[in-house]
Amino acid sequence: MATEQEKNANRARLWGLTVIGMTLGIWDMVQESSTSLSPQIGQAILGEIEKTLGLEIAGEQPETILVELGRIFVDEYGFATEAKVEKTGNQLRVTLCNAVGIPEFSAMMEKGVEKVFSNPFYCAGLAALSRQGSKARGNIEIDKAAKSYIVTFELL
Compute how many other C-beta atoms are within 10 angstroms of the C-beta atom of residue 66. Answer: 25
CB of 105 closer than 8 Å to CB of 119: yes
pTM score, two decimals? 0.89
**Closest by alpha carbon to 71, among 92, 49, 102, 89?**
49
Look at strands 82-88 and 91-97 and give their pairing: antiparallel
Q: Which CATH class is domain 4-155?
A: alpha beta
Count of CA atoms in the C-beta half-sphere (13 A) of 111: 15
Q: What is the pLDDT of residue 58?
A: 82
| Rg of the chain on CA atoms, in Å | 16
* pLDDT confidence of residue 47: 94
Task: Please give the pLDDT value at position 15.
Answer: 85
For the chain, what are the domain ranges? 4-155
Per-residue pLDDT of the chain (156 residues; tens, 9 = 90+): 878 888 888 888 888 888 888 888 889 889 888 888 999 999 999 999 999 998 888 888 999 999 999 999 999 999 999 999 999 999 999 999 999 888 888 888 888 888 888 999 999 999 999 998 899 999 999 998 889 999 999 999
